[in-house]
Structure 1
Amino acid sequence: MSEFFQIAEIVASDVELLDETAAAVRAAGVVLRERFGEVVRYGTREELMGALAVNDEAALDVLRPRLTGLRPGAGWVEDELDGGALPPGEWWVVDPAEGNVNHLHALSDWAVTATLVRENRPVLTVVHLPLTGETYTALSGAGAHLDGRRLHVSGAADLGLGIVATSQARPDEDESVVRRVGSSITAMLLGALVVRTSVPATLHLANVAAGRIDAFWQFAGARADLLPGALLVTEAGGRISDVEGRPWTPHSDSFLAAAPGIHAEAVTTLSH
């Protein structure tokens, strides 16, 4: 477990807060589900960014007032692509349409997420998939759940028999990051049974937490696309680090989440 995800004392009020956060995230999901179905056409980067923003704002119109009402003193991370440490206190890290570009293309891989960070430690998270109705939740020290069912990472012990996944953190990455991603995929194609590559990261991490896939890695990334799934994996018994096995923080330039039985082998494969 990364030091960033040290188990915190379970506060009774946080249990209730998790339930209320889940209700807010589900309500935002209803809005996005009603907007889903047709491929949204765009011809320029500006038109694409405008379409993404419309989805974000539709969900935020629900999320922001409800989450602010739950924790009036908590800050709000305005840029979902931001990384690094947060200032002291409580902060909402929200992705109103995680996998937004998939939503625009009428693809099913998207979600709504909200994570409460307290003194730079994620305390609780909710990941809701509006098309299936599934809701993943995690509370620090109290486990990870899917619609109330406790989650556990896989018992995989051989990377060569494992299904692994990676994701593109953002468009227009630096060329050095793109090349690093490419070489890591090649390494995993040689080392693992199957490699899945798609966005968004959160859904891969939910699958790691549920034991459906055995490891996920990514280079670069932001708080909003890693914190929700990372807390899910940690609370489901998985291991979090960077790809060289060092403790992961939001400052790290790489990320790895894996079942304990293959974590070391995944580190060896990716770091070489």
Structure 2
Amino acid sequence: MTQDLLAATTAAVRVAGARMLARYSPEARQPGLTELLAGLHENDAAVVDVLRPALAEIRPEARWLDDEHGSGPLPAGEWWLVDPVGGNVNAVHGMPDWNIGVSLVRDGRPVLGVLFFPVLDEMFTACEGGGAYLDGERLRVSAKTSLDGALAGTGQAQPGHDAALFERIAASFAAMSEAALYVRISVPVSHQLAQVAAGRMDLHWQFDNVRSHTAGVLLVQEAGGTVTDLDGGPWDLAGQGYLAAAPGVHAAALKVLGA
């Protein structure tokens, strides 16, 4: 049943990706904020128009959320958590690093995740207890055991953070830059989480825990990564922040972030 559910979800996401890819142009340039915001809205709407009816047919009992910046606990039951265009701000500027993300959460626990990168034609999938895959090939996180060779990342998931959080982000970047080989700050967050799952990056941390990250978190977990809150406790959908890392660098990264 899980594999049938994953196959149907993946097919729906691929159709939505094709719809968005037809809208995307590497030549896109935004003259101002008004046009940029309109482009973001139109892209999201185009993907939702495909995914909402498709996912409702696949799992009619599951409720729907496409608030990409939403956080906090969910009522019991099943929920489709959808990020229509992760990295939408990149897409409207003609950059290729954007994706479509879907996860199915059951009683606060992710059981299925799909991230599709249409420009690269890369499909990342994960099911609880079933492993993580890229185009059908099993994923494993990095085997690194030292931060001095690690590729790390973070990102601003929500707009409008207060000054204190921006200062914390800046301080953590400085601290991790001293400890790791390279640190990037970029969006979409789900892109970085997929790279951690694939072993292309070694760790990613967030000071906010947005529900639209759930597919990426499940990918890392199912690829053998360690995902905890920033105190080292278990990751929770309603938590405040997290570290997703290869097991060999997780403890050292947690220490750096807590310094």
Contact in 2 for aligned 1:244/1:268 (Cα 8 Å): no
Q: CA deviation at 1:50?
A: 2.2
Residue in 2 aligned with 1:239? 226
Give the 5 Å matches for 1:114-263. 114-224=102-212, 226-263=213-250
**1:92-120 deviation per Cα after TM superposition (whole angstroms, max 9, x unaligned):** 00011010000001011100111011111
**1:123-142 deviation per Cα after TM superposition (whole angstroms, max 9, x unaligned):** 10110010111100000000
Q: CA deviation at 1:186?
A: 0.2
Single out whichever of 243-252 and 50-59 deviates more from structure 2.
243-252
TM-score with structure 1 setting the length: 0.92
User: Does the alignment pair 1:22 with 2:10?
Assistant: yes
Q: CA deviation at 1:248?
A: 2.0
Q: CA deviation at 1:78?
A: 4.0
Q: 21, 39, 43: which one pairs with 2:32? A: 43
User: Does the alignment pair 1:75 with 2:63?
Assistant: yes
Q: CA deviation at 1:201?
A: 0.6
- Secondary structure of 2:74's counterpart equals coil
Structure 2 gaps, min length 5? none
**1:35-59 deviation per Cα after TM superposition (whole angstroms, max 9, x unaligned):** 1113242423x44332211000001
Contact in 2 for aligned 1:102/1:110 (Cα 8 Å): yes
Distance 2:248 2:128 in 1: 22
**1:151-198 deviation per Cα after TM superposition (whole angstroms, max 9, x unaligned):** 000111001111111111122211111110000000001111111221
CA change 1:230–1:156 in 2 (3 A) is same
CA change 1:78–1:131 in 2 (3 A) is closer
Q: CA deviation at 1:242?
A: 1.8
Aligned pairs, number: 258
Distance 1:160 1:18 in 2: 37
How many percent of aligned residue pairs carry the same amino acid?
47
Distance 2:233 2:41 in 1: 36
Contact in 2 for aligned 1:169/1:219 (Cα 8 Å): no
Q: 33, 40, 44: which one pairs with 2:21? A: 33
TM-score with structure 2 setting the length: 0.97
Q: CA deviation at 1:80?
A: 2.0
Contact in 2 for aligned 1:81/1:221 (Cα 8 Å): no
Distance 1:151 1:178 in 2: 33
- Secondary structure of 2:253's counterpart equals helix
Structure 1 gaps, min length 5? 1-12
